[in-house]
Amino acid sequence: MTALASMTAERYQRIRKLLATRQPSLTICLEQVNKPHNVSALIRSCDAVGINRIHAVWDNKARLRKKTSMGAENWVYTDMHPSIGDAVSHLKQQGMQVLVTHLSDDAVDFREIDYTKPTAIILGQEKTGATEEAIALADKNIVIPMVGMVQSLNVSVAAAVVLYEAQRQRELVGMYKTINLSEQECQRVLFEGGFPILSRICKNKGIDYPHIDENGHIVADASWWQKMQMTAKGMRKLEQETARDNEQTYTNKRP
């Protein structure tokens, strides 16, 4: 298993580059968005603008479609909440302004918002939109001005429009030039992204993640490796699962 003690320098640098631009003070909250292709498209947009963690309230956990998100769900983590009230309370405790996409008399153009502030955007269910509770809890209603016959966009499209405005504003003030994640969070992503097989073993066995050094090497003593020992059958199963995941990602990325 010691042969798996390091990742390639290229992969290490790629993950570090991703971590350097993550925006933990920007997120979305999905309120009963229940179509898997929309959820996956939303996650893909979040990854594209540097969001590392989103929030969701679902009656039933949505199944992601890797064909749509192209592996983005591996880099954007989802925190589940039992209710929209719990979700908004959690977000406000983090000092975030909470916006909701909702057409109302007091709604403001989404471009008038200052997204350099810590911001969370509630996106409601595809057919009925945000609930009355979500609207009441939000600080502001925002809308995307439209001049056509149709007065609403697909939820994933609407989210992308708003998120890229947030990205534009943040880039102008240099927020993508400063590392915003804690080193502890960076270490977690480095291990899970660089050593997917070993991270699965850790999760299965309840073993703490090791430190990853600046060369992409695992720094762990002999006792950690001893805890990590698996049967040959178990290792083959994990390798097969990882190979299938990698093949799916490759297939989805082909033109």
119 is in an annotated binding site: no
Q: Measure the CA–CA gap between 175 and 211, rounded to whole angstroms.
A: 27
Enclosing H/E stretch for 194: helix 183-194
Rounded CA-CA distance 80/23 in Å is 19
User: Which tokens hold the place of 83?
Assistant: 């209710």
Close Cβ partners of 150 (under 8 Å, ≥ 6 residues apart):
none
Are 59 and 70 spatial neighbours (Cβ–Cβ below 8 Å)? no
Q: Tell me the residue ranges of DSSP E strands in the chain.
A: 26-31, 53-57, 77-80, 97-101, 108-109, 119-123, 140-143, 211-212, 218-219
Instruction: Indicate the angle between helix axes 196-205 and 232-253, nearest 10 degrees.
Output: 130
Residue 147 amino acid letter: V
User: Taking the CB of residue 117, how many other CB atoms lie within 10 A of it?
Assistant: 13
Residues 6+ apart with CB under 8 A from 193: 11, 15, 74, 75
153 is in an annotated binding site: yes
242 is in an annotated binding site: no
Please tell me the distance from the alpha carbon of residue 7 to that of residue 4, in angstroms, as a whole number. 8
Q: Distance between terminal CA atoms of the chain?
A: 36
Binding site members: 101, 144, 153
Binding site members for S-adenosyl-L-methionine: 101, 144, 153
